[in-house]
Structure 1
């Protein structure tokens, strides 16, 4: 499998702008890293992005996420493994990712507002929008999953900080 376009080589400014959003989300949003990995994985499951699923499952494991939660993420409503805050974030992720279907139902918003401050919900939505953008880039240009390693990402992000 070969990528159609290597986006970092062709459009480094655009990719660096996206990485800037990731840096903001990671450093300034005060959202839990484990929560961010769950929403990144859930959006990537919905969108069918193998590259992002590979990346974020590795990142989640590196951050101590359990195999049980990773394996059942697609059926999170049917398990007792997620907190109420995580459940609200996952429902919000699904609604925002599938926005053309239901335009984010009021009951999903109400549950999210019960668990997140206004600022947290804006930042959570930005994180969801960002992973959806990454999914679209990776799927459109056929990014090849498998080679990503969390340590390499962490070193490059630390160097940019």
Structure 2
């Protein structure tokens, strides 16, 4: 795959509000580990290699386990995630796939049982932000840093 353009160089100033938005998400009070799971899950759904590379690397550096990252796409079948994380991941999926889910009542009810109203808004903003980043990175074919692994065979 070839990058279509370097979006950061093409419109540096256009990213300032988005970067400020990211700062506000980091300072929201939501657990950083939860934000990383949400960003990774949305990026899996959207097929964004650039964001997957970044967020899984950041999650590992922050102490996230390999096992939880490996099983994230199958979180419903794993006992590795807390009820709060499960509610956040379900909400991530319902908002990321909103054309299919219409933000289901059942996912919202589960969210309400684990998050305050403020946290629900903050989480939804974090989900919206990663979906914007995914669309930009996939649309412009942003390339993650390359590390070549030679085939031993």
Rounded to whole Å, the distance in 2 between the matches of 1:25 and 1:38 is 14
**Aligned alpha-carbon RMSD (Å):** 1.2
Rounded to whole Å, the distance in 2 between the matches of 1:30 and 1:77 is 25
4+ long deviations beyond 2 Å: none
The TM-score normalised by the length of structure 1 is 0.88
How do 1:11-50 and structure 2 match up within 5 A? 11-27=11-27, 29-50=28-49
Match of 1:118 in 2: 117
Are positions 1:54 and 2:56 aligned together? no
Are positions 1:76 and 2:69 aligned together? no
Structure 1: which 5+ residue stretches go unaligned? 148-161
Rounded to whole Å, the distance in 1 between the matches of 2:145 and 2:102 is 34
Match of 1:154 in 2: none
Local SS of the residue matching 2:113: helix
Match of 1:7 in 2: 7
Higher helix share: 1
Rounded to whole Å, the distance in 2 between the matches of 1:11 and 1:82 is 38
Asked if the contact 1:92/1:109 (under 8 Å) is kept, the reply is yes
Match of 1:65 in 2: 64
- Cα deviation 1:41-86 (Å, max 9, x = unaligned): 0000000000000000000000000000000000001011000000
